[in-house]
Amino acid sequence: MHIYDLDTPAVVIDVDVLEKNINDMAEHCKNLGITLRGHTKSHKNPEIAKMQVAAGSQGIVCQKLGDAENMARAGLDDILMTYNIVGKQKVRRLCALAKLRTMTVTVDSFETAKGISDQAVEDNVTVGVLVEIDTGGNRTGVQSPAAAEELGKHVNGLPGMKLRGLMTYPSSIASKPIVDETVKRFGDAGLSLEIISGGGTGEEWESKELGFTEHRSGSYVYEGLTRINGSGDGSDLSPERCPLRAVTTVVSVPTDDRLIVDAGMKTFRLFPDIPYGYIIEDPDLKFSGMSVEHGQIDTSCSSKTYSVGDKLTVIPTYQEGVTNLHDEIVWMRHNQVERVFKNEGRGKVR
């Protein structure tokens, strides 16, 4: 089946480009001499995660338990969760996973660590732990090397927990004084530095320079090495680097300089980034607006004419934001459908 024969809007992935992106990042990290740990939040697909591991990723990274459960059911192991797991319901699920897979989590407070420890003891499992330190992300993480050392000592004394090291986001050379002091404090205190995990696609070299043992990258799956070799701002959208696209149908041509497609915010992302995307068949077409169910396209710069029923394939400006909106994801090669996946990762935000 040609992708134009799919019911639209349809999200498709060019597997040749996907494979290239995965292999390019693996080779990039190999050349840098740093271990890659592939993040899965961009694609939420166990089959893609398996491709990352096969290319050289050391385990995987998940943000939410729902994604980790989905990955574990598919047979993936060595799962790092870079998110505070808080509350009885969640720590029960975490410990259930720890019975089946090697699970490591990040913590930034005594309360979070204690909650996991109590459940791990009850369930007779061991959960790996990385202490998270904030190096500029302004999200989670302890706020100083001294606080990291204090929390590390606390975790080291808790049953059901195995302190494995440190985690931070983003990797930044500017944070080197904080990183160096934290690592020294851990070393002087005899705390584990088995893993020092940095993150951020495009910051792999900084993790290497900071002396980290591994680097977490994820958006490269959909964006290639753009943030390494290109602008990284979405202006260089191209079918050669972006595997994810949305196939749409022209449903109206109300004026000579405007057409409407059947894909709007519910297809691409609520309040999507501007420009909205790149239209492969005719780059002279530009989105002029987008409502919930309609995409408005300006045809004034195009030499082509369009009719109701024509198909257009759009590379969204932010491909990752599309994944969580669709029940099915189609894999294709040379515009021919290869596989259709139920998007089991959709809605896994808990």
Question: For residues 62 and 82, what is the distance between their CA atoms, to the nearest angstrom?
Answer: 7
| CATH code where residue 272 lies | 2.40.37.20
Region 316-341: what's the mean pLDDT? 94
Residue type, 166: L
Task: Name the pairing type of β-strands 161-167 and 328-333.
Answer: unpaired
Is 218 found in the same domain as 247? no
Is 34 found in the same domain as 60? yes
The candidate with the shortest Cα–Cα distance to 59, out of 73, 42, 40, is: 40
Say if residues 204 and 219 touch (Cβ distance below 8 Å).
Answer: no
272-295 pLDDT per residue, tens:
888 899 999 999 999 999 999 999
227-276 pLDDT per residue, tens:
666 555 556 789 999 999 999 999 999 999 999 999 999 999 888 888 89
Residue 225's pLDDT is 85
Nearby residues of 209 by Cβ (< 8 Å), 6 or more positions away:
173, 176
**How many Cα atoms within 13 Å fall on the side-chain side of residue 311?**
14
Residue 57's pLDDT is 98
Poorest-confidence range of 23-27, 303-307, 317-321?
317-321
The candidate with the shortest Cα–Cα distance to 106, out of 148, 52, 54, is: 148
Tell if the pTM clears 0.75, that is, is over it: yes
Please report whether residue 49 resides in a domain: yes
Is 330 found in the same domain as 205? no
Is 62 found in the same domain as 144? yes
φ/ψ bin of 331: left (φ > 0), alpha (ψ from -120 to 50), beta (otherwise): beta
Query: Cis bond leading into 283, ω under 30°?
Result: no
Nearby residues of 7 by Cβ (< 8 Å), 6 or more positions away:
none
Residue type, 225: L
Task: Name the pairing type of β-strands 258-261 and 295-298.
Answer: antiparallel
Poorest-confidence range of 93-102, 191-200, 340-349?
340-349
Is 295 found in the same domain as 205? no
Is 155 found in the same domain as 122? yes
φ/ψ bin of 15: left (φ > 0), alpha (ψ from -120 to 50), beta (otherwise): alpha
Q: Please give the C-alpha separations between residue 325 and each of 136, 219, 319, 340, in angstroms, as whole numbers.
A: 30, 17, 11, 16
Is 331 found in the same domain as 196? no
Residue 234's pLDDT is 52
Please report whether residue 122 resides in a domain: yes
Q: Domain limits at 331?
A: 3-11+241-342
Domain count, the chain: 2
Is 308 found in the same domain as 248? yes
Is 154 found in the same domain as 55? yes
- The sign of the CA dihedral 299, 247, 240, 53 is positive
Percent of the chain exceeding pLDDT 90 equals: 91
Residue 230's pLDDT is 59
157-211 pLDDT per residue, tens:
999 999 999 999 999 999 999 999 999 999 999 999 999 999 999 999 999 999 9
Q: Quick count: other Cβ atoms within 10 Å of Cβ 100?
A: 12
Is the pLDDT at 34 greater than 80? The verdict is yes
Please report whether residue 228 resides in a domain: no
101-155 pLDDT per residue, tens:
999 999 999 999 999 999 999 999 999 999 999 999 999 999 999 999 999 999 9
208-225 pLDDT per residue, tens:
999 999 999 999 999 988
Please report whether residue 71 resides in a domain: yes
Q: Please give the C-alpha separations between residue 67 and each of 49, 333, 343, in angstroms, as whole numbers.
A: 11, 27, 11
Is 31 found in the same domain as 7? no
